[in-house]
Structure 1
Amino acid sequence: MTDTLASSYDPKQFETRLYEEWERSGVFKPSGKGEPYTILLPPPNVTGTLHMGHAFQHTLQDALIRYHRMRGYDTLWQMGTDHAGIATEMVVARNLGRDGLTRDDLGRDGFIEKVWEWKQHSGDTIERQMRRLGTSGDWSRSVFTMDPMAAQAVIEAFVRLHEEGLIYRGQRLVNWDPVLKTAISDLEVVNEEEDGFLWSISYPLSDGSGELTVATTRPETMLGDVAVMVHPLDERYTHLIGKTVTLPLSEREIPIIADDYVDREFGTGVVKVTPAHDFNDYAVGQRHGLPLINIFTHVAAVNGNAPEKYRGLDRYEARKVVLADLEAAGRLVETKPHKLQVPRGDRTGQVIEPYLTDQWFVKMDTLAARGLELVEQGDVKLVPSNWISTYRHWMENIQDWCISRQLWWGHRIPAWYDDDGNIFVGRNEDEVRARHSLDHTVKLSQDSDVLETWFSSQLWPFSTMGWPNEEAMAERGFDRYVPSSVLVTGFDIIFFWVARMIMATDHFTGRVPFKDVYITGLVRDKDGQKMSKSKGNILDPLDLIDGISLDDLLAKRTAGLMQPKMAEKIGKATRKEFPDGIPAFGADALRFTIAALATHGRDIRFDLGRAEGYKNFCNKLWNATRFVLMNTEGASFSGAPQPKTDPERWILSRLAKVAAEAETHFASYRFDLLAQALYEFAWNEFCDWFVELAKPALQGDDAAAAESTRHTLLFVLERLLSLLHPLVPFVSEELWQQVAPKLGLADTTIMLRPYPQASDFAAQDYTAAEADVEWLKSMVSALRRIRSELNVAPSKTIPLLLAGCTAADRDRATRFDSQLRFLTRLESIAILDDAAAAPAAATALVGELKLLVPLEGLVDLGAERTRLDKEIKRVEGEIGKCHNKLASETFVANAPPAVVEQERKRLADWNLQREALASQRAKLG
């Protein structure tokens, strides 16, 4: 058998092959049997490529799906991609630009045709990359948000909400990208601190009695000021409330109003109010009934509402002219550097304008109240639970939602206008005409805007299940798979997506979309920095899986950069961090790293050193399997083993306990603790200790013990591979295929094996064997440490003297005589009745049992004296630390009692070691 398993671990040799076999077999599809377990994939952008955030969340989702598939659940991982309105339109427009074309050259229909053409050829990249990670979703059910089924749900939802009075068209302030010429969501706005200026401007009182000094970071917007504002309790200005000032450069009189929004400590305590160009000012304007004066066009140039001199100027050119005119008029009081938060569009990098425009909105108050209720009463559970307070704050302060975008790619708004500007909403034009008795002499034009991507995404839990078409709902299993079991997503889209899915699913179906929401942190670099192209610290998961040379990595990181200085900066950072490129870690090592880092915190620091360590873990598993296969050549077994030796009983007991831990950690979404428990069991207990402890039986004279040990090795290895499969699916499958035939297993893949559970081993109680083997392990470790410290050659046998033996020690020493001799190269084991009569010897303690290895003829006695002196000094240092802690009243009073007791036990143990070392040192003179 071993000739079919390669001599070394190389994931490139089997990962892609195995995935193709899995997908071809149809095992990713729901079985239709057992209790349903469903996960909705947060649909990645069709324009996108796999990034570390995707890899992180997809790994955890896949682990949950594989685990529940093995538990016998009817698992459905609903796959799909998002049409990504802005991103996709930008990609296609950029491609057209290479041919000297714009979208306007093609017209709407021609441009949309180009988008679909691009999607067909290039839009499925991310799905191919997800497969490389091991994503075991049902690709046959994959949904694209522009597919007819999903599109029907979007139109239906819009029409119903409009009919219920929850969708309306109105003029409000929105985030506006003047390059894309569209409204964008808050999620698409990046606020970063930048260097700017704070300008102080004097506004003269209209009655000539003085002036007020106003500080602003955007002086050009003063052309749209409608008031100045002070705090109602600010004694400096209370006498001026109700009066007016004359707006410089515009010569309009505007009122002085009072509002507690004003920070009396900032600047002069007087602020300008421009409701059409600032979100906070907009709220003030609504409270005080102030007019809205928009001074910008859709490309952020000054419009006709401003004095003629400034019309047509770009906003930043207008700023220069306004400042020059203020200074000439003696109104520019002060200019000083100022740090400010600048909102930029994440796609274009342009400064976003708060812009007053007609848009479509969803009324959110009643929907949000219900969405909050569903979480607070536990119908939807947030994990970790501390996110409830953040969710509550947002839902209680929610604003109406702008859902329209001035794009061509997306779900076109199902609204039509006649020549008089009347608005008609319907599922299609024919329905509109029939409902409103409009014959074809009445010209109708459909709204040119599309719905923002989040509008369609909020319907994901049920649009993917065929809603509102009853036949499609029955075919896709709406009643069976809604609600889904868990949503895995980042905290940054709780409000944009999670909350909206909760509200929408409840509103349209009367169900919650999912039972649990496992909220992950954001992946950062090893220093805690956000990954960004400008910092040169972005990691591509595919590069980590398959490796990449330095030259290719440099080219990839600097691709598309227009600024040579930025390219040079990124190149320098890349060369420093990856002088030899990135080695191939394989998908399993990356996945295990992700699981190990998946704490319940806000940030995940990704360190390549961890990936290297978990690649070594996969290699360790590979080599241990080769050992088992070599030692079970020609053997075959069935059923569970009937152990003949204590090491077998010990490893079976540990297997039961780690299975129980795995069940607990999966249930609580503690992937970090799961990875830790499985790593400890696999590396230390199975690959190291049990493999070592099995050797005496395998090479001994007891045929029954040898045969039983072979069976146990295979059985535990097969169960270990099953435990590990959700986290490291590829290597576990490749190794399992070699182990399974020896156990007579009929399953064709490890994915269909039952996941180990503690209840599988409930009838077996090996507590005594566990204690005995822990004693044996301590003995072996202590003796190996002595051999190492004394630099005794591996081939040389040594005598062992035991002093201070209890009855249990004597019994164990007798029962484990052959194992101790085999594993630590002992020539003899003798028990001393009088420890004082022992010769000069190297000493170790196992509990209170003293292990003595006579030094005569074994080592240089002078060197041993030096070693003992050094060890005594180290132990005394530890004793001092314990004394200091226990002498601290603060520690004793505030630390948990168990911690204090543990420290006292440590002190007692260190004292025992010092006594033993001092006694040994005394014997050497």
Structure 2
Amino acid sequence: PELGKYYPTSVLVTGWDILFFWVARMMMFGTYVAGDDAIGDAKVPFTDLFLHGLVRDQFGKKMSKSRGNGIDPLDWVDRFGADALRFTLARGANPGSDLAVGEDHAQSSRNFANKLFNATKFALMNGAVVAELPARADLTDADRWILDRLEQVRADVDEAFEKFEFSKACEALYHFAWDEVCDWYLELAKVQLAEGSAHADGTKAVLGAVLDALLRLLHPVIPFVTETLWKVLTGGESLVVAAWPTASGADADPDAARRVEDMQKLITEVRRFRSDQGLKPSQKVAARLTEIDAADLAAQVPAVRSLARLTEPDDGFAATASVEVRLSRATVTVELDTSGTIDVAAEIARLRKDLAVAEKELAGTSGKLGNEAFLAKAPAAVVEKITARKQVAEEEIARFTARLAELGQA
């Protein structure tokens, strides 16, 4: 009975270096004993073979006692945690290539585990619940966007795991959790959870749903931290026996995705401008936003002002600097009153740098569009895209040149 439980298996996981010395001989011996009374009807000992690379040091050298470059796993478990070690190895498990690991990789994985802890802590402190989600029409663009991104990542992770592409699954989960959930959605959630907000209850439910699914998806590669966080978040028995996330069946909202992407671009450009001026990240600046309705971002204004540290202009507002951000529907102009705070020399340097980039783009696109051989072979869609890039570059050059003239740099 015990042999029947463990033989045959479904997957053999091993290094490529012993393919002939061990794997092939296992297969040969398995077929040789097939039909034996103890074996039963088993034809082969396993049906799938996953060959992973060798684990090497951070310089790509094979670990060996003579070199003294080996890693004691228990030492790393003590220093970085078992989850950090496991995630580091899984994230680097690219089929067909060896894995070079160093302490910086393990530290990065530990930081990621800490990020998950802080995200869950934030959600719990703000009343996040795992409950039935409100109707999609009652959710904000940010809520619908993060739910749609979760659905896409879930599908990508399922596909990667089915193909034994553990690195691809880990990368998808890492960037979704860090770059989209933590860097963007949690910041947007702070605005939506503000006292008196009509969207607070919906945001709490979305926060709970996203973290619930994210922790489930991460459990195979970060088992201990996700187990603890998930039990506190949901009150469930254990992730080990919890159901794997499945498709929601909801249709994606491309309009919400477009508005959120435009909002992200607008905030990012304003932040970059502030940094160029030497403004402190926490320093608030009065600003006026124009063409925001044309850009279809009226509902995102509170989030833009909060995340970009912009305040409403008062009666005596006088713009001293402006940033134009080209979005999908319109170009939004952000006029700022930086009197007493702006570094004029830094502004001139930034404009000259942006002008050089735009001039290089114009030269490149003009060169392609002036090449008859290229135009004869290139698809119409490609030519149209390059033409649009050329037009944008021309508009940017005109804008940057005009701004430099205002600063006496014509």
1:835-884, CA deviations, whole angstroms, 9 ceiling, x for partnerless residues?
xxx96523242325143323562524344223322332344456566778
Counterpart amino acid of residue 821 in structure 1: R
Q: For the residues of structure 2 that align with 1:594 and 1:886, how far apart are their CA atoms?
A: 47
With over 3 angstroms needed to count, the CA separation of the structure-2 counterparts of 1:500 and 1:895, relative to structure 1, is: farther
With over 3 angstroms needed to count, the CA separation of the structure-2 counterparts of 1:702 and 1:477, relative to structure 1, is: farther
1:627 and 2:112 equivalent?
no
With over 3 angstroms needed to count, the CA separation of the structure-2 counterparts of 1:493 and 1:892, relative to structure 1, is: farther
Counterpart amino acid of residue 149 in structure 2: R
Counterpart amino acid of residue 921 in structure 1: L
Q: For the residues of structure 2 that align with 1:667 and 1:891, how far apart are their CA atoms?
A: 42
The one of 241, 266, 271 aligned to 1:779: 266
Shift of 1:624: 1.1
Which protein is richer in strand relative to its size?
A: 1
SS of the residue corresponding to residue 762 of structure 1 reads: coil
Q: For the residues of structure 1 that align with 2:192 and 2:335, how far apart are their CA atoms?
A: 25
1:867 and 2:347 equivalent?
no
With over 3 angstroms needed to count, the CA separation of the structure-2 counterparts of 1:840 and 1:640, relative to structure 1, is: closer
SS of the residue corresponding to residue 59 of structure 2 reads: coil
Q: Which residue of 2 aligns with 1:669?
A: 164
1:694-716, CA deviations, whole angstroms, 9 ceiling, x for partnerless residues?
1111114234x111111111121
Q: Which residue of 2 aligns with 1:800?
A: 288
Q: Which residue of 1 aligns with 2:335?
A: 853
Q: For the residues of structure 2 that align with 1:740 and 1:688, how far apart are their CA atoms?
A: 23
What aligned pairs does 1:376-395 form with structure 2 within 5 A after superposition?
Answer: none
Q: For the residues of structure 2 that align with 1:689 and 1:702, how far apart are their CA atoms?
A: 19
TM-score by length of 1: 0.39
Q: Which residue of 2 aligns with 1:110?
A: none
Which protein is richer in helix relative to its size?
A: 2
CA RMSD of aligned residues (A): 3.3
Shift of 1:829: 7.7
SS of the residue corresponding to residue 312 of structure 2 reads: strand
Q: Is the 8 A contact 1:845 1:913 kept in 2?
A: no
Shift of 1:796: 2.2
1:690 and 2:195 equivalent?
no
What aligned pairs does 1:872-891 form with structure 2 within 5 A after superposition?
Answer: 872-877=355-360
With over 3 angstroms needed to count, the CA separation of the structure-2 counterparts of 1:884 and 1:485, relative to structure 1, is: farther
Q: Which residue of 1 aligns with 2:321?
A: 841
Q: Which residue of 2 aligns with 1:590?
A: 85
For structure 2, the residue ranges without an aligned partner over 5 or more in a row are 35-41
Q: Which residue of 2 aligns with 1:638?
A: 131
Aligned length: 392
1:721 and 2:208 equivalent?
no
For structure 1, the residue ranges without an aligned partner over 5 or more in a row are 1-474, 547-583, 742-746, 831-837
With over 3 angstroms needed to count, the CA separation of the structure-2 counterparts of 1:797 and 1:522, relative to structure 1, is: same
1:163-205, CA deviations, whole angstroms, 9 ceiling, x for partnerless residues?
xxxxxxxxxxxxxxxxxxxxxxxxxxxxxxxxxxxxxxxxxxx
Q: For the residues of structure 2 that align with 1:734 and 1:824, how far apart are their CA atoms?
A: 34
Q: Is the 8 A contact 1:840 1:855 kept in 2?
A: yes
Q: For the residues of structure 1 that align with 2:385 and 2:310, how far apart are their CA atoms?
A: 35
Q: Is the 8 A contact 2:276 2:346 kept in 1?
A: no
Q: For the residues of structure 2 that align with 1:872 and 1:693, how far apart are their CA atoms?
A: 32
Q: For the residues of structure 1 that align with 2:273 and 2:360, how far apart are their CA atoms?
A: 21
Shift of 1:784: 1.9
1:280-338, CA deviations, whole angstroms, 9 ceiling, x for partnerless residues?
xxxxxxxxxxxxxxxxxxxxxxxxxxxxxxxxxxxxxxxxxxxxxxxxxxxxxxxxxxx
Q: Which residue of 2 aligns with 1:769?
A: 256
Q: Which residue of 2 aligns with 1:754?
A: 243
With over 3 angstroms needed to count, the CA separation of the structure-2 counterparts of 1:905 and 1:476, relative to structure 1, is: farther
Shift of 1:652: 0.7
Counterpart amino acid of residue 598 in structure 1: A
How many percent identity over aligned positions?
A: 40
Q: Which residue of 1 aligns with 2:38?
A: none
Counterpart amino acid of residue 66 in structure 2: S
Shift of 1:654: 0.7
With over 3 angstroms needed to count, the CA separation of the structure-2 counterparts of 1:621 and 1:666, relative to structure 1, is: same
Q: Is the 8 A contact 1:653 1:767 kept in 2?
A: no
The structure with more radius of gyration: 1
TM-score by length of 2: 0.84
With over 3 angstroms needed to count, the CA separation of the structure-2 counterparts of 1:519 and 1:911, relative to structure 1, is: farther
Counterpart amino acid of residue 638 in structure 1: A
Q: Which residue of 1 aligns with 2:234?
A: 740
Q: For the residues of structure 2 that align with 1:887 and 1:483, how far apart are their CA atoms?
A: 65
Q: For the residues of structure 2 that align with 1:879 and 1:756, how far apart are their CA atoms?
A: 47
Q: Which residue of 2 aligns with 1:656?
A: 151
What aligned pairs does 1:81-160 form with structure 2 within 5 A after superposition?
Answer: none
1:674-701, CA deviations, whole angstroms, 9 ceiling, x for partnerless residues?
1111011100111111100111111142
SS of the residue corresponding to residue 842 of structure 1 reads: strand
Q: Which residue of 1 aligns with 2:37?
A: none
Q: Which residue of 2 aligns with 1:502?
A: 27
1:801-855, CA deviations, whole angstroms, 9 ceiling, x for partnerless residues?
325x674x1x32x22222222222333389xxxxxxx965232423251433235
SS of the residue corresponding to residue 732 of structure 1 reads: helix
Is the deviation greater in 726-735 or in 814-823?
Answer: 814-823
Q: For the residues of structure 2 that align with 1:897 and 1:524, how far apart are their CA atoms?
A: 48
Shift of 1:627: 0.8
1:824 and 2:308 equivalent?
yes
SS of the residue corresponding to residue 853 of structure 1 reads: strand
SS of the residue corresponding to residue 711 of structure 1 reads: helix
Shift of 1:889: 11
The one of 106, 118, 139 aligned to 1:611: 106
